[in-house]
Structure 1
Amino acid sequence: MSVVIYHNPRCSKSRQTLELLRNKGVKPEIREYLKSPPSVSELEEVLGLLGIEPLDLMRRKEAAFKDLGLGDGSKDRAMLLQAMHETPVLIERPIVLANGKAAIGRPPEDVLKVL
């Protein structure tokens, strides 16, 4: 089984999720998305797997969210996706992809449903 985690090593929830996966015997591909941001098409795929809209995948308390005016309703889907690609700190984390499914690890145990 191929498992990918969009991981931020500075985030406690991301570290907890990675530890949980490893404790279950899973050796995920670790994608440090801040260093290697997902493309717009990868973000579209993740949104489809999660069944959510771009704003639902964004960290709304990040300064960049406010600075870019992303919550004012004036940005279309393409603009929101581009913002996440260009400013990956906006992406909620961690995200685990496995078995054609995706889950956000908040709480970390939520990712177990995709294994």
Structure 2
Amino acid sequence: MKEFNLCPRFEKAMGLLSTRWVGLILFDLLNGTKRFSEMEADLPISGRLLSDRLKMLEKEGIVERNIYSEFPVRIEYSLSEKGRELEPVIKEIQLWADQHVTPEEVAENEA
């Protein structure tokens, strides 16, 4: 059997974007800067997992974490320039999903 090697950069990008919940986090941040609690309320994900994914995205330079010296301390997350460059990709996936994913398929995944 012939071995097929993907482009390592493409493979890395797909691995990152296909990590569970990353797509929804990025989609949520396309609407602008959010506090952790806002994201936690918006997404069907535990706080611990959300925190892990945000740390991963911050390490990759896709998400920026801004800390404000207030009382209580305010922490906000936003897309970096690198993260904002994913907007056309995410919007195209949304367009594709709107055209090709049926409500029945969504219901099957939720069951």
| TM-score normalised per structure 1 | 0.27
* Higher-Rg member (1/2): 2
In terms of fraction of residues, the more helix-rich structure is: 2
* TM-score, normalised with respect to structure 2: 0.28
Higher-RCO chain (CA-CA 8 Å, sequence separation at least 6): 1
